[in-house]
């Protein structure tokens, strides 16, 4: 088992058309935080792929070239699966098409304005955010343990692949001599931009559910973000580590998650088998 290999796994999760509205632990907040990310994912994954494409055959060393191809394969598989996920949300009455289109337009405009180094810096900042969120939702049982099985399986597959490839763009950025200040500027831009777009998506979901004026909903949202589930509280420190001058994504060492999941994946015979096991076993 090569721990450096980035393996695209094109899984199909077949989220049911009658997915419960609050599929994640029957909690609108935990559900809509992940739904808001899912709505953003296809456009963002496209932006990430376009930032590394020019380097995929000439990244400076053969291992990195292979990893970049794996990265592109994984992100394009994620994008496809999130588009299908968002179609299910559309059936629930949310205007995911409009939100997805808006995001695509914004990111396309942005990528045309940025230098290739700044574009990369944006991607590696977002990769850090997805990696720390992925670590949280894989480790912390409050996040996915009581979720609808096929949706839970999709999120866990996405999370493990995000951790698996979390350093690829960073290593490329170093290879092309990207510097500290551009890296930090990328994180500022990503924090503001993704923060705003996620809030916009979350707001749409909450308005459609007529929760926007319910005080109890906002109190509970505060608790999910800052209390035991700690969606924001638990991410602050890992987020701030990015600002260290000698930061590297693997300084947050979660290799044991990779080893555990790769062992699990290698036991399966096919992608369908993987999906079935991911759905059945919530304890992995």
Question: What minimum distance in Å lies between the beta carbon of 43 and Fe ion?
Answer: 12
- Cβ contact 131:162 at 8 Å: yes
Which CB atom, from 100 or from 162, has the smaller least distance to Fe ion? 162
Give the x/- contact pattern for Fe ion in 158-177, rule: CB under 5 A: ----x---------------
> Which span sits near Fe ion by CB under 5 A: 96-104, 122-130, 208-216, 225-233?
122-130
Piece of 8-16, 54-62, 77-85, 206-214 that binds Fe ion (CB under 5 A): 77-85
Mark out the alpha helices in 21-115 (DSSP H runs): 28-52, 62-91, 96-113
CB within 8 Å of 141: residues ≥ 6 apart: none
User: How far apart are alpha carbons 38 and 21 in whole angstroms?
Assistant: 15
Please state the closest distance from residue 56 (CB atom) to Fe ion, in A: 15
Q: Which residue is nearest to Fe ion (CB)?
A: 78
Contact between 94 and 208 (Cβ < 8 Å): yes
CB of 211 to Fe ion, least distance (A): 28
How many Cα neighbours within 13 Å face the side chain of 22?
A: 9
Return d(Cα 225, Cα 222) in angstroms, integer. Answer: 5
Looking at beta carbons only, is 44 or 206 nearer to Fe ion?
Answer: 44
Q: Shortest Cβ distance from residue 169 to Fe ion (Å)?
A: 8
Where in 9-68 is the site for Fe ion (CB under 5 A)? none
Smallest distance from Fe ion to CB 70, Å: 11
Instruction: Show Cβ contacts of residue 106 under 8 Å, excluding neighbours closer than 6 positions.
Output: 43, 197
Nearest to 166 by CA among 86, 247, 61: 247
- Per CB under 5 A, which region of 82-90, 104-112, 123-131, 203-211 contacts Fe ion? 123-131
Question: Is residue 78 part of the contact set for Fe ion (CB under 5 A)?
Answer: yes
Q: Whose Cβ is closer to Fe ion: residue 28's or residue 73's?
A: 73
Residue 85 has which token pair? 């996920």
Interface residues with Fe ion (CB under 5 A) are 78, 127, 162
């Amino acid at each position: 088992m090569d721990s450096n290999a980035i393996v695209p796994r094109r899984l199909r999760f077949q989220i049911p058309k009658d997915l419960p509205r609050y599929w994640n632990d029957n909690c609108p907040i935990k559900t809509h935080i992940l739904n808001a990310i899912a709505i953003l994912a296809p456009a963002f994954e496209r932006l990430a792929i376009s930032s590394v494409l020019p380097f995929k055959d000439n990244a400076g060393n053969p291992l990195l070239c292979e990893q970049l191809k794996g990265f592109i394969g994984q992100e394009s598989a994620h994008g496809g699966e999130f588009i299908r996920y968002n179609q299910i949300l559309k059936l629930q009455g949310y205007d995911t098409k409009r939100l997805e289109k808006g995001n695509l337009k914004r990111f396309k405009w942005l990528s045309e304005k940025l230098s290739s180094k700044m574009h990369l810096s944006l991607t590696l900042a977002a990769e850090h955010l997805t990696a720390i969120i992925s670590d949280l939702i894989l480790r912390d049982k409050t996040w996915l343990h009581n979720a609808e099985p096929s949706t839970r399986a999709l999120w866990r597959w996405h999370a493990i692949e995000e951790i698996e490839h979390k350093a690829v763009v960073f290593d490329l950025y170093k290879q092309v001599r990207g510097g500290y200040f551009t890296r930090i500027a990328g994180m500022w831009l990503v924090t503001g931009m993704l923060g705003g777009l996620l809030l916009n998506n979350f707001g749409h979901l909450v308005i459609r559910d007529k929760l926007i004026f319910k005080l109890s909903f906002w109190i509970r949202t505060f608790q999910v973000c800052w209390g035991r589930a700690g969606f924001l509280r638990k991410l602050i420190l890992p987020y701030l580590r990015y600002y260290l001058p000698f930061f590297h994504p693997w300084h947050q060492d979660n290799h044991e998650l990779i080893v555990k999941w790769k062992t699990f994946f290698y036991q399966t015979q096919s992608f369908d088998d993987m999906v079935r096991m991911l759905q059945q076993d919530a304890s992995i």
